[in-house]
Amino acid sequence: MWEMRGPVIVAPVLEVVVAEQCNLTCRACSHLSPVAPKNFANPVETGRALGVLYTAFHMKVVKLMGGEPLLHPDFAAVVAAIRSAAPAAELHLVTNGHLLSRMDLSEMDGIDQITVSIYASATIARSGRAALEQADRRGIRVVQQAMEQFNESYCEHPHSDPDMTRRIYRACKIAHDWNCFTLRAGFFYKCPQAYALTTVLGSAASGAHADNGVDLTDPAFADPAVLADRLHDYLSADQPLPACRHCLGSSGRAFRHEQLPRRLWRSAQSQAPSGLLT
Ligand code: SF4
């Protein structure tokens, strides 16, 4: 959970979206990465936005997220920009591990931990496992997380009842408990769904990025106190975001993890919202 400590907000984790698309196609991925447009974090813009955010928001860990972050064509530059903007934070790479074997491990300099998501439906090749052992020998902590179950994440149809949207938002552990605060393209979001639903479904369905997040390029945020106030109001708001209209938050039905062909990915989320909820 986040808290105000004096003039700054302190939170355990900030997630930085490094590459939005993914080489895997997990059904109901909460970042909608299998159908996300090809977008990579600009290292300069990321460093600048994180520098502004850091004046009012301190995090213990920065997670480098995707999609699959190792798809980024200049991964080392993003790591260097983040390291320089948030020097006190630990850097954790969160990856599915499939591209590790093609990396030069010197690009991992500055990374403290590699968290590998292990999927039974997409096992990592022996070369990938060897790369993890090498990383471990270089002093990078390696943590493996078995992902056996996913939850339905969103619905292509909006909730017809505003009360349902409010209930989902108020029960949403992603926004309120799980520390999934996200930095993407100069904006701060309380959850990754707040940007991902707009990039995939469009702003008419899910609201503009400026309605779902905090634009860190606002010149008023040169004053850290103004930024801290804005972040506080945004994080403690009791009204849902526009993106919540299509989101299931943490209320989606659980299912056994599986891969889906990209062409079928969105149609799997086309049931009525009531059929996707717990
Ligand atoms: S979009 Fe709304 S319901 Fe979905 S994760 Fe974010 S806050 Fe929760």
- Residue 253: give its domain's CATH number: 3.20.20
Q: Considering the domain boundaries, does residue 3 fall inside one?
A: no
Residues forming a β-bridge with 214: 188
Q: Considering the domain boundaries, does residue 115 fall inside one?
A: yes
Supply the pTM of this predicted model: 0.97
Say if residue 48's pLDDT is above 90: yes
Quote the ligand 1 centre to 137 CA distance (angstroms).
39
Confidence of residue 160 (pLDDT cuts 50, 70, 90): confident
Confidence of residue 271 (pLDDT cuts 50, 70, 90): confident
Which residues form the pocket of ligand 1, taking CB atoms under 6 Å from any ligand atom?
168-169, 172, 174-175, 190-191, 193-194, 240-241, 243-244, 247, 249
The range of the structural domain enclosing residue 29 comes to 9-275
For a mutational test of ligand 1's pocket, the pick from 167, 174, 236, i.e. the residue with the most ligand atoms closer than 8 A to its C-beta, is 174
Q: Are 174 and 180 in contact (CB under 8 A)?
A: yes
Q: Considering the domain boundaries, does residue 4 fall inside one?
A: no
Peptide bond preceding 67: is omega within 30 degrees of 0, i.e. cis? yes
Percent of the chain residues topping a pLDDT of 70? 100
Confidence of residue 273 (pLDDT cuts 50, 70, 90): confident
Confidence of residue 28 (pLDDT cuts 50, 70, 90): very high
Quote the ligand 1 centre to 168 CA distance (angstroms).
8
Quote the ligand 1 centre to 11 CA distance (angstroms).
18
Say if residue 274's pLDDT is above 90: no
Quote the ligand 1 centre to 206 CA distance (angstroms).
11
Q: Considering the domain boundaries, does residue 242 fall inside one?
A: yes
Q: Considering the domain boundaries, does residue 255 fall inside one?
A: yes
Q: Considering the domain boundaries, does residue 218 fall inside one?
A: yes
* Number of other residues whose CB lies within 10 A of the CB of residue 277: 18
Domains of the chain: total: 1
Q: Are 193 and 173 in contact (CB under 8 A)?
A: no
- Dihedral over Cα of 208, 211, 212, 215: its sign: positive
End-to-end CA separation in angstroms for the chain = 24
Question: Looking at the chain, which runs of residues are DSSP E strands?
Answer: 3-5, 8-17, 57-65, 90-95, 113-118, 141-146, 149-151, 182-184, 187-189, 214-215, 254-256
Token readout for 196 is 């991902």
Q: Are 75 and 106 in contact (CB under 8 A)?
A: no
At position 130, the amino acid (one-letter code) is A
